[in-house]
Amino acid sequence: MDTTLQDPLVGQLLDSRYRIDGRVAVGGMATVYRAVDTRLDRVLALKVMHPTLAADASFVDRFIREAKSVARLSHPNVVGVFDQGTDGSYVYLAMEYVAGCTLRDVLRERGALQPRAALDILEPVLAALGAAHRAGFVHRDMKPENVLIGDDGRVKVADFGLVRAVDTVTNTTGTILGTVSYLAPEQIEHGTSDTRVDVYACGVVLYEMLTGAKPHSGDSPAQVLYQHLNEDVPPPSAAVPGLAFPLDELVASATARTPDVRPYDAVALLAQLREARAALTEEQLDAVPPQAHATAPDGAEDRTTVIPPAARSVQLPLPAEGGRDADVGQGGHAGQEGQDELNRTSILATPPSAPPAPPAAGRSSRRRFDPRRRMIAVIAGVLLVLGLGTGIWYINSGQFTKVPPVLSKTEAQAKQRLDEAGLEVGDIKRKYSDTDKRGTVMASDPAAGDRIRQNDKVTLTVSMGPDTVKVPDVKNIPLATAKKELKNAGLAPGMVTKGFSDDVEKGSVISTDPRTGFTRKAGSAVALVVSKGREVEVPGVVGESRADATADLEDAGLKVEIAEKWVTSEEEDKGDVAKQSPAEGRSLAEGDTVTLTISKGPPMIEVPDVTGMNVDDATDKLEAAGFEVDEDRGLLGIFGDTVKKQSVDGGDEAPKNSTITITIR
């Protein structure tokens, strides 16, 4: 079902100007619509803030201030901002509409990209960010969702909704803004945001384009934040063997955990990118990446959510496998719901006001613990065990044990380990997995390290390996039927484009990408090319009679529609074709319609009265009024010079450029 039908704004006129035609995307902070500016008659994108946020006056004020800032950015790779306003409870931003897709769509569709394609996309992104950085602004939310790729191939950076001046404090009521998977360590740890946070995010995006996966992953935002702080982004060649060393260097430079090691801004990173490209051979630039891991489809990857302060407590031990993190993502579970948080623009609690300890030297920015605090914690733990814990240990002695680690073990090995620990194997669940080897244990319940009564049962989840399916043959099948067959095969219908075909019936599938018989992961998208029918070149029929023009177009395989409103034409006679749409020479599909506009003839204008005037004056006056002049002297007017009569009386109307005959005596 089309969810736009349920949107109350679709079909409405916002602010007495913007007609909302459809919904493009929904986020946690705003909804983007395709709209028409009825004053200027142009298509644009309308970003409308959610009413819950619009009720926050401070949030709205910041939205308006930052919209004005972005409107001052003028760059071919930045989505333009046209207007901003409010209509009742709706706060909106009118922006340039880019017909095409996002980089996220490309990654979901293609997986890893060739190095040449990745650099071709990143270069205009850095050019846009460089213009913003040199103008004094930081984007703060760079991610594939905010990189638009137009149908004409142009790349534009969108959604400067979180933009801030470089020297502006980033604190917003005790929170910072950003997307978990692309946050720089200093944003997480200190709440600071300068041009280098955009550089870090671009490094993560480059890694994702080269490998098809994010460098840091986890079941919850807390786990990803922890990795940003404590683990370097790995070299792309570790995931895609054969990638050239300059690409590893470029990613490492952009994603250095210590901000001072990174390029200062996007302009500096752009210079490094061009140096890296120059160092690569044509073969290295065109290296075909494996398509084993495309970015996993996330149901809400571009939505905006609120992550409460506990989500930033990344120094605590990570949740155990299969466990839950009740403080992550609006109290959601770890796992899929937690995974959805990783690509969302999030609001995170800012760090304490006390200045943080300086980072360690070199690439690492791992936080250091105060040894005195560690010693106090150890002493407190010892006292707790020796005191309150003694009775509990005595009571439970011999009744409980811990679940041994069995992950990545074969089913037989896992059973043996559990048996040695005095535990029994309960249910065996089997699931598909793209990362776990077939026949190995993916998870246990209870998880490894959990306490369990001896002789209790442990449920094992064993990998069935990747769930792959073959692309079915849907050529010559109507689009709706082809989509159903793809879904039945375990695949998702992807982007639909249209093309001419002499062989395939209009509305049926010409080809798929990947092609028929290729193996893809279950749930992967398959692009479809649908036939527009046989290509027909539109003949020119302007100036022909209505009947002749209709016959010529129908003979070419096209349909004809006559416009209700006729137009005046100085060139075409009444009843002939004055205009045609599409014009002569354009390509249409067989059966498409050409609209003809019929001429009412030339416009009617008033004829001046020239009787009694001499011939020359009368001729000049008639010609100035838009008429041709013919003289009738007869036998008696050979030597005359005065107009005695005119073929159309003065004050009457006649067609422009028609001939007025004057009789001279």
> 349-368 pLDDT, tens per residue?
444 333 333 343 333 333 33
Q: Is position 178 within any domain?
A: no
Q: Which amino acid is at 113?
A: L
Q: Is position 34 within any domain?
A: yes
Same domain, 517 and 551: no
Q: Regarding beta strands 577-581 and 593-598, do their DSSP bridges make them parallel or antiparallel, or are they unpaired?
A: antiparallel
Same domain, 418 and 451: yes
Write down the catalytic residue from 2, 105, 141, 548: 141
In angstroms, the Cα distances linking 323 to 329, 434, 445 are 15, 21, 9
Same domain, 13 and 31: yes
What are φ and ψ of residue 81, in 5° steps? Answer: -110, 125
Q: Is position 563 within any domain?
A: yes
Q: Is position 509 within any domain?
A: yes
Q: Is position 384 within any domain?
A: yes
Instruction: Quote the number of domains for the chain.
Output: 6
Q: Regarding beta strands 90-96 and 100-102, do their DSSP bridges make them parallel or antiparallel, or are they unpaired?
A: unpaired
Same domain, 19 and 75: yes
> pLDDT class for 178, splitting at 50, 70, 90?
low
pTM: 0.48
Please list, in sequence order, all residues whose beta carbon lies within 8 angstroms of the beta carbon of residue 154, skipping any fewer than 6 positions away. 76, 77, 98, 124
Q: Is position 639 within any domain?
A: yes
Q: Is position 182 within any domain?
A: no
Same domain, 589 and 568: yes
Q: What pLDDT is stored for residue 190 in this prediction?
A: 82
* pLDDT tens for each residue of 420-441: 888 989 999 988 877 778 889 9
Residue 469: strand pairing partners: 520
* pLDDT tens for each residue of 492-535: 898 899 999 989 999 999 999 999 988 888 878 899 999 998 99
Final residue belonging to a domain, choices 461, 488, 507: 461
Same domain, 519 and 539: no
Q: Regarding beta strands 535-537 and 509-513, do their DSSP bridges make them parallel or antiparallel, or are they unpaired?
A: unpaired
Same domain, 549 and 521: no
Final residue belonging to a domain, choices 56, 74, 97: 97
> pLDDT class for 296, splitting at 50, 70, 90?
very low
Closest by alpha carbon to 35, among 90, 106, 88, 114? 90
Q: Is position 380 within any domain?
A: yes
Distance CA 590, CA 285 (A): 42
First to last CA, the chain: 83
Instruction: Write out 326-352 in H/E/C secondary structure.
Output: CCCCCCCCCCHHHHHHCCCEEEEECCC
Same domain, 33 and 91: yes
**8 Å CB contact between 345 and 179:** yes
Distance CA 68, CA 84 (A): 8
Which residue matches tokens 């002493």? 379
Same domain, 86 and 44: yes
- The average pLDDT across 21-41 equals 87
Distance CA 278, CA 345 (A): 35
The DSSP code sequence of 356-395 is PPPPPSSS--PPPPPHHHHHHHHHHHHHHHHTHHHHHHHH
Same domain, 416 and 475: no
In angstroms, the Cα distances linking 20 to 3, 24, 156, 232, 348 are 14, 11, 23, 45, 33
Same domain, 499 and 417: no
Distance CA 156, CA 101 (A): 11
Q: What pLDDT is stored for residue 214 in this prediction?
A: 94
Q: Which amino acid is at 272?
A: Q
Reading across the β-sheet that carries 441-445, which strands appear in turn? 424-431, 457-463, 441-445
Final residue belonging to a domain, choices 510, 531, 552: 531
* pLDDT tens for each residue of 76-107: 999 988 988 888 889 999 999 998 889 998 99
Distance CA 109, CA 8 (A): 31
Q: Which amino acid is at 193?
A: S
Q: 219 catalytic, yes or no?
A: no
Same domain, 510 and 527: yes
In angstroms, the Cα distances linking 548 to 450, 539, 555, 571, 575 are 87, 12, 11, 18, 11
Hey, what are 179's tokens? 């997307």
Percent of the chain clearing pLDDT 90 (strictly above): 44
* Enclosing domain of residue 375: 371-401
Please list, in sequence order, all residues whose beta carbon lies within 8 angstroms of the beta carbon of residue 388, skipping any fewer than 6 positions away. none
Q: Report, in this order, helix, strand and coil percent for the chain, each rounded to 5.
A: 30, 25, 45
Is 137 strand, coil or helix?
A: strand
Distance CA 25, CA 41 (A): 22
CATH of the domain at 516: 3.30.10.20
